[in-house]
């Protein structure tokens, strides 16, 4: 079977969303609406200073010996004390000092942290059949929401802006479970900006007017259509390639002020690093003017239109370019998402997002529901298997990340 045309994939995707929306409107069902619920409270108990890190760990494109949902299926559910130990966190500062903060979890419901799990073993692959990734080279797309929320981490990973000063990424992008990576003491985040200066006397250019904001909802579809058009005609491809290079934006780098990693990621808390807690927050020294993306929590990805997720990152095989992809989730647990999204090293840490309706409104809104952890080796009954893994944002993780971002648990009481 030959490659499936991108235009056909786009049509199927758009049709699925339209049908779901039509059913939702007709039945009054809120299945495709962002759920409104209270989340647990994560509050600080005590902060102590630790010895400085040696920054001796080396970055890894893959994580070996990761305990995913398979190896945890036979383990007992964690107690409240276990959860508080796992959600306690380290803060690393730009001067090399670090602290440990213990936390208390309040208003916890059993549904906030338990869930079923299932899985299927597959042979190691990074691209499944036809490569369905889209390179976002033109500034008309890469500087436009939601692609503009994607950032590059100086250790070689990706991340996503969740506030003007905070980036969500994977924990293994800065820490290997034992020590912080070499180079983290001078960690920087790159945000895509226009390469050329704007002309004077044209105030308001680049501002998002009402019409432009309405068009934002079709950003992903526009990208797919553009790639389809570029594939028609050799001469046209060459012209498009030259245009993309000349209009390609560049990175504006900002130093990281501090970073926070949950203790659940550290070896010692568990026998091996746990994929469930492969997430971290980076606080930037300088606030960004780029629009950020909110966090969200959903009961099940499989209840979404086509069960589809999206994320963009800076894959190693396409240097300097932002790469977007979407796919359906095949398996899920309370903490992990297994999917078939084509990806290469460098995309780890990307924000996985979906689009649902806002409560009481017809407008659809994107929110981050997970962090792409990469192609990880997972122990399954003593045998190493690999999967495409994304760490899911649970109510507990939402409460913790929100606390890291806002520093005030009262602002993190509901999604």
pLDDT in tens, the chain (415 residues): 444 444 444 444 444 444 444 444 443 445 688 887 788 888 899 999 998 777 777 776 556 555 555 555 555 677 889 889 999 999 999 888 899 999 999 877 755 544 433 333 333 445 545 667 788 777 777 888 999 999 999 999 999 999 999 999 999 999 988 889 988 989 999 999 876 554 444 444 444 444 433 344 456 666 655 555 554 444 444 434 444 444 677 899 999 999 999 999 988 766 666 778 999 999 999 999 889 999 999 888 877 767 788 999 998 888 888 999 888 887 788 888 887 788 888 899 999 999 888 887 878 899 999 999 887 665 555 666 667 889 999 999 999 999 999 987 777 877 7
Alpha-carbon gap, residue 207 to 215, rounded angstroms:
13
pLDDT at 238: 42
Beta-carbon contacts of 226 under 8 Å, excluding residues fewer than 6 positions away, are 138, 141
pLDDT at 332: 81
pLDDT at 303: 74
pLDDT at 62: 58
Q: Determine contact, residues 340/388, Cβ cutoff 8 Å.
A: yes
- The full set of domain ranges for the chain reads 6-194+219-412
Q: Determine contact, residues 355/366, Cβ cutoff 8 Å.
A: yes
Residue 14, number of CB atoms within 10 A of its CB: 14
Alpha-carbon gap, residue 97 to 104, rounded angstroms:
24
Torsion angle defined by CA atoms of residues 116, 118, 304 and 222, in that order, rounded to the nearest 10 degrees: 140
Q: Determine contact, residues 391/349, Cβ cutoff 8 Å.
A: no
How far, in whole angstroms, is CA 18 from its chain's centroid? Answer: 25
First to last CA, the chain: 44
Beta-carbon contacts of 122 under 8 Å, excluding residues fewer than 6 positions away, are 385, 386, 387
H-run or E-run covering 103: strand 98-106
Domain spanning 6-194+219-412, CATH class: mainly beta
Phi, psi values for residue 374, rounded to 5°: 105, -170
pTM of the complete model beyond 0.85 = no
Express each pLDDT in 23-49 by its tens digit: 444 434 456 888 877 888 888 999 999
Q: Determine contact, residues 264/168, Cβ cutoff 8 Å.
A: no
pLDDT at 225: 59
Residue 391, number of CB atoms within 10 A of its CB: 22
């Amino acid at each position: 079977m030959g490659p499936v045309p991108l235009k056909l994939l786009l049509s199927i995707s758009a049709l699925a969303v339209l049908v779901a929306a039509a059913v939702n409107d007709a039945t009054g069902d809120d299945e495709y609406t962002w759920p409104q619920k209270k989340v647990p409270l994560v509050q600080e108990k005590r902060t102590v200073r630790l010895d400085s890190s040696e920054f001796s760990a080396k970055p890894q494109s893959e994580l070996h010996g990761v305990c995913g949902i398979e190896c945890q299926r036979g383990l007992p559910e964690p107690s409240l004390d276990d959860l508080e130990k796992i959600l306690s966190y380290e803060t690393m500062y730009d001067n090399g000092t670090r602290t440990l903060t213990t936390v208390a979890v309040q208003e916890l419901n059993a549904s906030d942290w338990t869930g079923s799990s299932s899985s299927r073993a597959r042979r190691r692959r990074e691209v499944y059949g036809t490569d369905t990734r889209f390179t976002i080279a033109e500034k008309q797309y890469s500087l436009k929401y939601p692609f503009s929320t994607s950032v590059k981490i100086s250790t070689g990973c990706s991340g996503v802006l969740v506030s003007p000063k905070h980036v969500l990424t994977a924990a293994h992008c800065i820490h290997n479970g034992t020590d912080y990576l070499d180079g983290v003491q001078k960690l920087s985040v790159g945000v895509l900006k226009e390469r050329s200066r704007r002309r004077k006397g044209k105030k308001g250019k680049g501002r998002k007017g009402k019409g432009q904001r309405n068009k934002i909802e079709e950003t992903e579809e526009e990208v797919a259509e553009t790639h389809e058009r570029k594939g028609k005609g050799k001469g046209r491809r060459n012209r498009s390639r030259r245009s993309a290079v000349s209009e390609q934006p560049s990175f504006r780098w900002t130093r990281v002020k501090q970073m926070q990693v949950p203790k659940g990621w550290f070896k010692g808390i568990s026998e091996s690093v746990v994929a469930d807690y492969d997430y971290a927050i980076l606080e930037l020294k300088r606030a960004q003017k780029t629009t950020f993306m909110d966090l969200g929590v959903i009961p099940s990805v499989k209840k979404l239109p086509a069960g589809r997720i999206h994320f963009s990152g800076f894959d190693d095989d396409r240097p300097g370019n932002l790469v977007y992809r979407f796919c359906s989730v095949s398996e899920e647990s309370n903490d992990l998402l297994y999917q078939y999204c084509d990806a290469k090293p460098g995309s780890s840490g990307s924000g996985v997002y979906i689009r649902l309706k806002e409560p009481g409104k017809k407008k659809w809104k994107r929110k981050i529901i997970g962090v792409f952890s990469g192609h990880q080796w997972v122990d399954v009954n003593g045998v190493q298997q690999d999967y495409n893994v994304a760490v899911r944002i649970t109510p507990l993780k939402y409460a913790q990340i929100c606390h890291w971002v806002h520093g005030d648990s009262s602002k993190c009481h509901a999604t």
